[in-house]
Amino acid sequence: MARPDPNILLVDDDQVDVMIARRTLARRGKGDCLVVARDGIEALEILRGQNGHAPLPRPCIVLLDLNMPRMDGLEFLRELRADPELSSVVVFALTTSTASRDRAEAYRHQVAGYIAKTGAPGGFEKIAHMIEQYAELNVFP
Protein backbone atom coordinates (compact mmCIF):
# COMPACT_ATOMS: atom_id res chain seq x y z
CA MET A 1 0.00 0.00 0.00
CA ALA A 2 1.40 3.39 -0.98
CA ARG A 3 1.98 5.87 1.80
CA PRO A 4 0.51 9.35 1.43
CA ASP A 5 2.86 12.15 0.45
CA PRO A 6 3.93 14.17 3.46
CA ASN A 7 2.85 17.78 3.65
CA ILE A 8 5.70 20.21 3.14
CA LEU A 9 5.81 23.38 5.21
CA LEU A 10 8.17 25.86 3.58
CA VAL A 11 9.15 28.54 6.08
CA ASP A 12 10.75 31.31 4.03
CA ASP A 13 10.26 35.05 3.61
CA ASP A 14 11.89 35.17 0.15
CA GLN A 15 9.04 35.22 -2.39
CA VAL A 16 11.33 34.18 -5.25
CA ASP A 17 12.35 31.03 -3.37
CA VAL A 18 8.69 30.34 -2.56
CA MET A 19 7.72 30.72 -6.23
CA ILE A 20 10.52 28.36 -7.32
CA ALA A 21 9.43 25.78 -4.74
CA ARG A 22 5.77 26.03 -5.84
CA ARG A 23 6.64 25.60 -9.52
CA THR A 24 9.04 22.73 -8.90
CA LEU A 25 6.64 20.80 -6.70
CA ALA A 26 3.74 21.42 -9.10
CA ARG A 27 5.81 20.00 -11.98
CA ARG A 28 6.46 16.92 -9.88
CA GLY A 29 2.75 16.50 -9.04
CA LYS A 30 3.29 17.52 -5.41
CA GLY A 31 1.95 21.09 -5.54
CA ASP A 32 -0.99 20.27 -3.28
CA CYS A 33 1.41 19.18 -0.52
CA LEU A 34 3.02 22.61 -0.09
CA VAL A 35 2.07 25.08 2.64
CA VAL A 36 4.03 28.32 3.07
CA ALA A 37 4.79 30.37 6.18
CA ARG A 38 6.65 33.70 6.01
CA ASP A 39 8.40 33.32 9.38
CA GLY A 40 8.72 31.10 12.44
CA ILE A 41 5.68 32.57 14.19
CA GLU A 42 3.37 31.81 11.27
CA ALA A 43 4.91 28.33 10.92
CA LEU A 44 4.14 27.49 14.55
CA GLU A 45 0.59 28.82 14.11
CA ILE A 46 0.13 26.53 11.10
CA LEU A 47 1.57 23.49 12.89
CA ARG A 48 -0.56 24.17 15.98
CA GLY A 49 -3.72 25.19 14.12
CA GLN A 50 -3.83 28.67 15.65
CA ASN A 51 -5.03 32.09 14.43
CA GLY A 52 -7.37 30.75 11.78
CA HIS A 53 -4.97 28.15 10.39
CA ALA A 54 -6.09 24.55 10.14
CA PRO A 55 -3.47 22.31 11.78
CA LEU A 56 -1.12 20.86 9.19
CA PRO A 57 -1.83 17.13 8.93
CA ARG A 58 1.04 14.74 9.66
CA PRO A 59 3.28 13.45 8.35
CA CYS A 60 4.95 16.69 7.41
CA ILE A 61 8.40 17.92 6.55
CA VAL A 62 9.51 21.46 7.33
CA LEU A 63 11.94 23.26 5.01
CA LEU A 64 13.28 26.07 7.15
CA ASP A 65 15.11 29.24 6.21
CA LEU A 66 17.16 30.61 9.10
CA ASN A 67 17.23 34.33 8.28
CA MET A 68 13.68 35.69 8.64
CA PRO A 69 11.90 38.57 10.39
CA ARG A 70 9.87 38.29 13.61
CA MET A 71 11.06 34.77 14.53
CA ASP A 72 14.10 33.38 12.76
CA GLY A 73 14.74 29.73 12.01
CA LEU A 74 16.84 28.98 15.08
CA GLU A 75 14.23 30.52 17.39
CA PHE A 76 11.60 28.44 15.59
CA LEU A 77 13.64 25.26 16.16
CA ARG A 78 13.99 25.98 19.89
CA GLU A 79 10.23 26.52 20.22
CA LEU A 80 9.38 23.49 18.07
CA ARG A 81 11.62 21.10 20.00
CA ALA A 82 10.27 22.38 23.34
CA ASP A 83 6.67 21.55 22.32
CA PRO A 84 5.85 17.88 23.08
CA GLU A 85 3.23 17.81 20.32
CA LEU A 86 5.67 19.06 17.68
CA SER A 87 9.08 17.90 18.87
CA SER A 88 9.26 14.97 16.43
CA VAL A 89 8.48 17.02 13.30
CA VAL A 90 11.14 16.48 10.62
CA VAL A 91 12.99 19.70 9.73
CA PHE A 92 15.56 20.40 7.02
CA ALA A 93 17.35 23.74 7.20
CA LEU A 94 17.27 25.31 3.73
CA THR A 95 19.16 28.56 4.01
CA THR A 96 21.67 31.00 2.58
CA SER A 97 23.61 30.89 5.87
CA THR A 98 26.88 29.02 5.67
CA ALA A 99 27.98 30.15 9.14
CA SER A 100 29.38 27.24 11.15
CA ARG A 101 27.63 28.42 14.33
CA ASP A 102 24.23 28.40 12.53
CA ARG A 103 24.93 24.90 11.24
CA ALA A 104 25.99 23.67 14.68
CA GLU A 105 22.96 25.24 16.36
CA ALA A 106 20.58 23.77 13.77
CA TYR A 107 22.01 20.28 14.26
CA ARG A 108 21.86 20.75 18.04
CA HIS A 109 18.11 21.15 17.52
CA GLN A 110 17.96 17.93 15.51
CA VAL A 111 17.52 19.06 11.92
CA ALA A 112 17.52 16.12 9.53
CA GLY A 113 19.83 18.02 7.18
CA TYR A 114 21.36 21.42 6.50
CA ILE A 115 21.16 22.56 2.87
CA ALA A 116 22.80 25.76 1.67
CA LYS A 117 20.56 27.30 -1.01
CA THR A 118 23.54 28.56 -2.97
CA GLY A 119 25.32 25.22 -2.77
CA ALA A 120 22.51 23.04 -4.08
CA PRO A 121 23.52 21.99 -7.61
CA GLY A 122 20.34 21.66 -9.66
CA GLY A 123 18.56 24.00 -7.30
CA PHE A 124 15.20 23.14 -5.85
CA GLU A 125 14.69 20.26 -8.30
CA LYS A 126 17.35 18.25 -6.44
CA ILE A 127 15.93 19.29 -3.08
CA ALA A 128 12.45 18.13 -4.16
CA HIS A 129 13.92 14.81 -5.30
CA MET A 130 15.72 14.40 -1.96
CA ILE A 131 12.46 15.05 -0.08
CA GLU A 132 10.63 12.48 -2.21
CA GLN A 133 13.34 9.89 -1.53
CA TYR A 134 13.37 10.69 2.17
CA ALA A 135 9.56 10.39 2.39
CA GLU A 136 9.62 7.09 0.50
CA LEU A 137 12.29 5.51 2.70
CA ASN A 138 11.51 7.07 6.07
CA VAL A 139 8.99 5.75 8.58
CA PHE A 140 7.46 8.86 10.16
CA PRO A 141 6.47 9.03 13.86
Residue from 2, 123, 134 nearest 62 by CA: 134
| Strands of 1-141, DSSP E | 7-11, 34-37, 60-64, 90-95, 113-116
Q: Would you say 80 and 45 are in contact if contact means Cβ atoms under 8 Å apart?
A: no
Rounded Cα gap, residues 89 and 102, in angstroms: 19
**Do residues 79 and 42 make contact, with C-beta atoms less than 8 angstroms apart?**
no
Considering the entire predicted model, what is its pTM? 0.91
Structure confidence by residue, pLDDT tens digits, 128-140: 898 888 888 877 7
User: Which of the four CATH numbers 3.40.50.2300, 3.30.56.10, 3.55.10.10, 3.40.50.620 does domain 7-63+74-130 have?
Assistant: 3.40.50.2300
Average pLDDT of the chain is 89
Whether the pLDDT of residue 4 is over 90: the answer is no
